[in-house]
Amino acid sequence: MGVNRRVVVTGLGIVSSIGSDPVLFWNNCLEGKSRVAPIPEHWRHYADYHSSIWATLDPLEPDKLGLTRVEVAQNDPASLIAGNAARQALTNGGLQLEVFNKRANSYRLTDVDANRVGVYMGTGIGGANSFLDNYSVQMLGKQKLKLGEVFSKLSEDDDARAAIGAIIELSYHGRRFNPFVVSMLMPNAISAHIGLKYSIKGPNLTHSVACASGTVAIGHAFHAVRDGTVDFAISGGSEYLDDYYGGIFHGFDIARALVRNCEDPATANRPFDINRSGFLYSQGGAAVLLLEDLDTAVGRGAPILAEVAGYAETFDAHSVMSIAPDGVQIERMMNAALADAGMSHSHIHYINAHGTGTQANDTVETEVIGRVFGRDVLVNSTKSLVGHTIGASGAIEALVTVMSLKEQRTHLCKNLEEPLTDLNFAREATSCPMDAAFTQSFAFGGHNAGLILKRFN
């Protein structure tokens, strides 16, 4: 077991609003595509909203993903899409899978010691969708039956009949209380699902750090591989934010975090623009990076996409909901990541920013980027394309950073018409020589995390 080993990225997996395989997703990024739709109409029965749009995923198709009915019944969508992204990363990374337990629909790696593989995943809210579905049954199931009894006794002419009928229809959509709800809603279910699905027996950890979860998970996975704790790490983030009642959306909306200027949905989401009005809420997403030590990767002839060079995290201790306006802890995180990589700010040629599109975040983030990296480093926001996937966002952005280094290209910062400052924003898809890049995430609570990746040589 070595220490201070070089760590490389050898596989990628993605589920997003603009593509659910790495090649399609990356091409759509370069083409500046996004997918914005009105929020579900039935959400309006439960609340009034300031925002009215979101970024949607393709419907989950169990047959295409090789999922059984039992797996769908026993797992939250956040776990299922994480498993999909993990499988992509494993197979794209050249690792072979074989059926291990046909009844459980599980697999195992054929050429790797499963004890030397770790799972490090991030999520903001885990299986909250399953919690809300089942809580509605718990809270309203018997009440719906009682209302039904009242409804049946009312005459067709009674004005109350229509009103009670409407309440019954809206009260809840669940059919029964799922006996697996506890294991579905727990945040660690996402990493556990990957470990169970692929028979992986090394450290299995979930990092729940709100919007920084994916970045933190990859950072800890990087250190585990570098320090010799594991030889391989399945790392990333997953989130599914589509509860039937729109309650999670409502929480962000009432906090005034979501995009408000929705008259033209295609141009509403505009990180770093002076006319920004909040972030575009996403239905969800997942991204996984397969990390391994360089010697192992070279020895098995793995495709090496990029190298992970540094990681750091800090905490603002300022506010649970708002970013510290001085940006001091973000600056300290940036410098600590550079020190971890043994690099200086001049080595960084590209920054994939947190770039939410909120007033406070974009102002503070651009000020700190300017202080640490200067005005010439290329900057973009992947959230300008896919919206905000909360716990998955940092992992998606790390994947984009890997592809940018590999292809020596960056996607545009979409809808950026009047930049709030004079940083070197990518106003179009750009070819640019890049040796190293930085990707960062900030989170409710006050968490800051950043990764440094390098073009592999």
pLDDT tens column, 65-100: 999 999 999 999 999 999 999 999 999 999 999 999
Does residue 157 carry a pLDDT above 80? no
Which are the contacts of 66, defined by CB distance < 8 A and separation ≥ 6? 105
39, 53 in Cβ contact below 8 A? yes
pLDDT for 311 equals 99
E-strand ranges in 26-160 read: 36-38, 53-55, 97-101, 106-109, 117-122
The two beta strands, 36-38 and 53-55, are: antiparallel
| Average pLDDT estimate for 320-349 | 98
The two beta strands, 378-380 and 424-425, are: parallel
Return the bridge partners of 388, or none.
281
What is the distance between the alpha carbons of residues 274 and 359, in angstroms, rounded to a whole number? 9
pLDDT for 153 equals 85
pLDDT for 197 equals 98
| Average pLDDT estimate for 57-67 | 95
pLDDT in tens, 262-310: 899 999 999 999 999 999 999 999 999 999 999 999 999 999 999 999 9
Does residue 1 carry a pLDDT above 60? no
What is the distance between the alpha carbons of residues 140 and 134, in angstroms, rounded to a whole number? 10
> Quick one: which of 268, 284, 357, 414 has its CA closest to 17?
284
The dihedral of CA 22, 105, 180, 169: what is its sign? positive
What is the distance between the alpha carbons of residues 10 and 251, in angstroms, rounded to a whole number? 37
Does residue 209 carry a pLDDT above 70? yes
What is the distance between the alpha carbons of residues 292 and 210, in angstroms, rounded to a whole number? 26
Of all residues in the chain, the percent with pLDDT exceeding 90 is 88
Does residue 142 carry a pLDDT above 90? no
The dihedral of CA 329, 330, 335, 341: what is its sign? positive
Higher pLDDT, 429 or 135: 429
pLDDT category at 148 given cuts 50, 70, 90 is confident
Higher pLDDT, 162 or 188: 188
pLDDT in tens, 369-393: 999 999 999 999 999 999 999 999 9
Which are the contacts of 411, defined by CB distance < 8 A and separation ≥ 6? 29, 30, 32, 380, 382, 385, 400, 404, 426, 429
pLDDT for 159 equals 79
pLDDT category at 174 given cuts 50, 70, 90 is low
Does residue 313 carry a pLDDT above 90? yes
Structure tokens at 138: 């718990």
